[in-house]
Structure 1
Amino acid sequence: MKGAPPHAPVVVITGASSGIGRATARRYARHGARLVLASRSRAALETVAAECRELGAQAVAVPTDVSHEGEVRSLAAAAVLEFGRIDVWVGNAGVFAYGAFEHLPSTVFRQVLETNLMGQVHGARAVLPYFRRQGSGTLVMVGSLYSRVGSPIISPYVTSKWGLLGFAECLRQELRGSGIRVRVVLPGTVDTPIYQHAANVTTRHVRPLPPAASPERVARAIERAPRRRRFSAYVGRVQKSTVLVHDLAPAAYDAASSLMVERVELHGAGAEVTVGTVLEAPAAASPVTGGWRSRGVRLLWAAAAAAALSTLLVRRRPQAAAG
C-alpha cells in the first residue's frame, strides 16, 4: 500500500460502508487522504477500507454505532492515536423510515433521531476538543433537503434533519473566530441504497422522489466543503426549488407533497412490514448506488410524476374557478 504523505489530511467519515459515505471515502482516497472509516459493521468497513487502500490511501476501519456517545468518542480517539490529528470530520451516518407517525413504532422513530441527529451531536462533542487543541478543523454534516421542508410518511427523518440544521447553525455561531469551520451539505434525493434499507410500515412499495442525484455529486460537495466560505451547499437544483414553494406557497406545497407521496413515492401493495436496517446493521457493505438512476426507473418516475402533476392541476382548476 502506498503511504499518504505526512501532510495529507486526516478525515473521519461516519456511515462509510455504503452510499454517500462510501463514495466520499473513495473520493478522499483518490486525493491521498488518511482515512478513518466508521459504520456499525466491521465486515462492511473492511471492504471499503480495502478499496481505499487500493486507491493509494491509508485507511483504518473503526466499527462505531454513532447513536452511542462512548463509541463515537472512541472513534475520535482512535483517529488521533493512528494519525496524530483530525482535519475533517464527516458526519454522514443516517437511517430512513417510511410510515405515518401514528403507525411507526416508537423504537423506530427514536432510533432514526438517535442515529441521524444525536449521532451528529456525539460527533461534534467527540471531535471539537481535538479541533480546539489544533486551532483548526472542519466539521461537515450531511443534512438533507428535508432540513428545510417536510413531507408525509417520513416524519422521523424530517425531524432529525431539521434538528441537524438548527444544531449546525448554533455551532457555527459559537465557533466564530476559533479557526474551526462548520459546514452543512443538503442533498435532495440521492441514488443510494438507503431506501432499500429503510424501515417501512406502509404495506406499500416505496421509491424515492425524482430526480435522483449521483452519490459522487454529494461526495464532491462534501470534499469541497472545508475549502468553501459558504456554510451550506445544496445538491440537486431541481429539488432545491421546492424550498421556495414551501416558503412562499405552503398550501400549494402541502397539496403537491401529499400527492407526490401517494402517487409517486408509494406504489403497489403487499410490501413487507420491516424495520430495515434502522435497528441492526447490514452484514456486508452495500453499494454506492441504489439503482434509482437507471433508464427504466427514470421513465417510470417521469410517468408517475406527470400523472400526479396532472391530477393536482385538475383538482385546483375547479377551486380557482369557484374563487
Structure 2
Amino acid sequence: MSRVVVLVGATSGIGRAAARAFAERGDRLVLAARAPRTLADVRDECVEAGAEVLTVPTDVTTPGALDALADAAVDRFGRIDVWVHTAAVTAYGRFEQLPARVFDQVVRTDLLAVAEAARVALRHFRAASAGTLILTGSVLGHITAPYLSSYATAKWGLAGLVRTLQQELRDDADIHVCLVSPGSVDTPIYQRAANHAGQVGRPPPPIASAKRVARAVVDCADHPRREVSVGPFNGLMRVGFTLLPGVYDALVGPLMRRLGLDDTAVDPHDGVVFAPDPTSEAVRGGWLPDLGRVLRAAGNLPGQVGALVRRPAR
C-alpha cells in the first residue's frame, strides 16, 4: 500500500530530489514550499512519475502554517505516514558581521520551524500509533566551521532535539524519528545563502549529490534509523573535532577560507533567508558534473562516430 508522505522544502535540493524518489515508488505526496510556481513544477514532475500529489504553498516560519499543512494532508488523503522536513536556509559571515535579523531568521527556519513540524507530525503519529518523522540535519550539527554560526547553531540544536525525541519515543515502537546528516551536497543552497562574508560560499569537497542524500531519506522511510550520515569524511571530522580540538580549530579556518569560500567578491545580501527566489530553485547546484548529461553524451558517441565514418569524402 502506498504511503502518504508530507515533504516540506520540496522545490529545491534534497527535498526536490526526495519528492521525485518518493513519486517513483508510487507514494502519495503532499508537497510544501514557499514558491507556488516552482511547487507546481515539482508537482508536474511527480505526477509524470505516477504519483498522486497535493501541493500546499507554505512558509514554515508563519504561525499556524504547519498545522494547516497537516490538516490539508489529512483532508485529502486521510492520514500522514511519513513527514520529511528538508526546508533550510543559511548565511555566510563572521558572527559579529552577520545582522541579528539574518541570524535569527536562519535559526527560526532551521530549528524553531523544524521543532514546530515535529510537534505537528508527532501529534498525528501518536493519534495513529505509527509514523516516521525524517529531519535533515548536517555534519555541522556535530562540528563547527567559521562563517556559518547561524547554521551551526540551528543544526546543533536540531541534533539535540532529535536525540531527545528518540529518548521520549522509546516506548512507542511504531513511531520513529530519523536524522539524515549530510556533509557538502550539490544543491543551490550555497548560492542562495545570505552573504555578509564578502566572498561567495561554496561546498568544500568531497561533495555528495542531492539524489544520494534523497536515497538516504527514502531508505529511512522504508527502514527507520536513528541517524544516517552521508559523506565519506563526516566521521573523521567528528573524531577530529572531539578528540583533537586544538588541531581541528587550527586547521578549520584556513581550510574554510580556501575550500568553503570562492575568490569572487560579493556585496552583502540576504539571499533567500526572508523570501524565495524561484529562479534559483533546482535539484543541483552545479558543483558536480551532470552525470545524466555525460551519460547521454556518451550514449550518442557511437552514432556520432558512425556518422563521421559514413560521411562521404569531398
TM-score, shorter chain, exceeding 0.5 = yes
CA contact (8 A) 1:188 1:240 kept: no
2:164 to 170, 193, 204: 170
- Counterpart AA for 1:119: A
1:121 to 115, 118, 122: 115
2:188 to 170, 184, 193: 193
**Residue 207 of structure 2 aligns with which residue?**
212
Partners of 2:264 and 2:121 in 1: how far apart?
A: 45
CA contact (8 A) 1:92 1:142 kept: yes
2:64 to 50, 67, 70: 70
Partners of 2:262 and 2:15 in 1: how far apart?
A: 28
Partners of 2:84 and 2:42 in 1: how far apart?
A: 16
| Residue 179 of structure 2 is aligned to residue 184 of structure 1 | yes
Partners of 2:224 and 2:75 in 1: how far apart?
A: 30
**Residue 98 of structure 1 aligns with which residue?**
92
Partners of 2:99 and 2:276 in 1: how far apart?
A: 18
Partners of 2:103 and 2:13 in 1: how far apart?
A: 22
Instruction: List, as ranges, runs of 4+ consecutive aligned residues in structure 1 with deviation greater than 6 Å.
Output: none
Quote the offset at 1:127 in angstroms: 1.5
CA contact (8 A) 1:200 1:273 kept: yes
Q: What does residue range 256-267 of structure 1 map to in structure 2 within 5 Å?
A: 256-267=251-262
| Residue 142 of structure 2 is aligned to residue 148 of structure 1 | yes
Partners of 1:50 and 1:267 in 2: how far apart?
A: 35
More strand by share: 2
Post-superposition CA distance 1:268-295 (Å, at most 9, x none): 2531211000011113471101011139
Post-superposition CA distance 1:213-253 (Å, at most 9, x none): 00011001001113335300100122331111111101111
**Gapped runs of 5+ residues in structure 1?**
1-6, 296-323
1:16 to 10, 13, 17: 10
1:30 to 20, 24, 27: 24
Quote the offset at 1:68 in angstroms: 2.3
Change (3 A) 1:84 1:236: same
TM-score by length of structure 1 reads 0.87
SS of the residue corresponding to residue 8 of structure 1 reads: coil
CA contact (8 A) 1:186 1:235 kept: yes
- Counterpart AA for 1:141: L
- Counterpart AA for 2:192: H
SS of the residue corresponding to residue 79 of structure 2 reads: coil
| Residue 244 of structure 2 is aligned to residue 249 of structure 1 | yes
Partners of 1:212 and 1:27 in 2: how far apart?
A: 20
User: RMSD of the TM alignment (CA)?
Assistant: 1.3
2:34 to 5, 26, 40: 40
Q: What does residue range 125-144 of structure 1 map to in structure 2 within 5 Å?
A: 125-144=119-138
Identity %: 44
**Residue 85 of structure 1 aligns with which residue?**
79
Partners of 1:169 and 1:205 in 2: how far apart?
A: 33
Quote the offset at 1:130 in angstroms: 1.3
| Residue 159 of structure 2 is aligned to residue 203 of structure 1 | no
TM-score by length of structure 2 reads 0.89
Partners of 2:50 and 2:224 in 1: how far apart?
A: 29
CA contact (8 A) 1:181 1:226 kept: no
SS of the residue corresponding to residue 191 of structure 2 reads: coil
SS of the residue corresponding to residue 94 of structure 1 reads: coil
Quote the offset at 1:202 in angstroms: 1.2
